[in-house]
Amino acid sequence: MDNLPLWAQICAIFLLLFLSGFFSISETSMMALNRHRLKHLANQGSLRARTTQGLLAKTDQLLSVILIGNNVINTIIPVLTTSIALHTFGHNNVVLSIATGLVAFLIIVFAEITPKIVGATYPEKVALPASLILAPLMRIARPLVWFVNLFANAVLGTLRINTKGARDQRLSTEELRTIVLESGSFMPTKHRSILLNLFDLENITVDDVMIPRRRIEALDFDSPFEQILHQLETCYHNKLVVYQGDIDRVLGILHVRKTLAALHNQELERETLRELLAEPYFVPAGTPVFQQLQYFQESRQRIAIVVNEYGELQGLVTPEDIIEELIGEFTTTIPRGATSRGGWDDHGECIVPGSMPLRELNRWLQLTLPTDGPKTLNGLILETLEEIPDGDVSVQIAGVTFEVMRSDDQAIRTVKIFRPAAGSLRPQR
């Protein structure tokens, strides 16, 4: 190096600083790279993405090449700087100290901190082009890498560290949920909401989404025939549960449109009505909704009657009820009143039936009422009060104030809900 002019030696130092910065920025960007994004780019046919995938599949060799190159260069730079200082200023301790401090400053700023910050900020923009240089470099340095890794693996073996087992990293449901929540502007709000609801379905059973027993529109087969005809002509649903005397004695499911068509074509009699009944489809309470949705697909059924361990009817569930947990309410149900569809009124109040399911209430009014216990608003209030209130009673649950407006000896019938503070409302997804 002494034969080279001073300007050439200085240029060599800056070239080495650049190469050291390249190894530093490559190391950080490779480790900070989004593996799922990388896999997506590779599947789309990106050569640089496939090359990067191949490098990351051999992380130990990749890091060895980068660290060997970085450390060798960072060792040469001080030696070269000291040589220049000695050749230019002679054996002056002050000059050597200044030169050592200066080269340390240059390495830290331009070869370590700055490149690594850039690599961590723009991992994809840096790692993909860098892979085209690192890939052939790995092949050239393979013997040296093997020799160095021989000692490194011996140390890891002594410490009983298994690097192969740590490579297979799978995302948990909560980690996926966090990714979706942090997707921000990259994903439409509605799509993000559907994905988050999909994760919630893992902990939901048919009990959470079913229409409760008291809200089922059913037809009593033993009712006067004129009353049966009137109910068929005025019902809100196309299919009705038909029972005999007691709703726990289900006879079948009646298709209302087909029945009315038969009524116009011929004289409809009670026995003819019985022949039009479809076989009821029963499912046990506690069935997971994912499993129940699969059952609906396999059995080609549209209505399932939920029963408990004693065979008593608990509610009714349809595929639409499960789908509404994903995308929100979209089917037409029995009207709940003038203000029910509009949510909160101008005074921040809302009147709802006590039989309203809590999950539906949370979704409709953006509340965060607990759903791991009682399934209806009536059950939640009774659990809190531990008695059926005789008159008007107010109670606060999960930051929401409820006023019991009407009740009887069996249950709470009507409840007024007061809009809570903004902090108690469920955040919009």
- Domain containing 279 — which CATH number? 3.10.580.10
Q: Render pLDDT for 156-204 as a digit per residue (tens, 0 to 9).
A: 888 887 766 555 566 677 777 777 777 766 777 777 778 877 887 777 8
Same domain, 272 and 383: no
- The CATH number of the domain where 395 resides is what? 3.30.465.10
- Please check whether residue 415 lies inside any domain of the structure: yes
Instruction: Find how far residue 324's CA is from the centre of its chain.
Output: 17
Burial zone of 360 (CB within 10 Å; 0-12 exposed, 13-18 middle, 19+ buried): buried
Cβ–Cβ < 8 Å for 384, 391: no
Beta strands 313-317 and 211-212 are: antiparallel
Residue 320 lies in a domain: yes
Say yes or no: 356 and 407 in one domain: yes
Residues 128 and 218 in one domain: no
Shared-domain flag, residues 17 and 75? yes
Per the domain annotation, does 81 fall within a domain?
Answer: yes
Q: Supply the range of the domain harboring residue 153.
A: 6-158
The CA distances from residue 46 to 3, 35, 41, 397, in Å, are 46, 14, 6, 55
Number of domains forming the structure of the chain: 3
Tell me, yes or no, whether 275 and 381 share the same domain: no
Whether the predicted pLDDT of 244 surpasses 70: yes
* One domain for residues 31 and 139: yes
Same domain, 318 and 372: no
Claim to verify: residue 323 and residue 356 sit in the same structural domain? no
Residue 295 sits in the same domain as residue 362:
no
pLDDT in tens, 319-335: 988 888 888 766 544 44
Distance CA 356, CA 212 (A): 8
Q: What pLDDT is stored for residue 35 in this prediction?
A: 84
Question: What's the pTM?
Answer: 0.58
User: 153 and 33, same structural domain?
Assistant: yes
In this structure, are 353 and 323 located in the same domain?
no
Pick the last residue of a domain from 127, 158, 189. Answer: 158
- 189 assigned to some structural domain: no
63 & 154 share domain: yes
CA angle, 76 as apex, 61 and 56 as ends, to 5°?
A: 15
Residue 414 token pair: 């009507």
Give me the count of residues in the chain: 429
Provide CB contacts within 8 A for 291, sequence distance 6+.
none
187 occurs within a structural domain: no
Q: How confident is the model at residue 273 (pLDDT cuts 50, 70, 90)?
A: confident
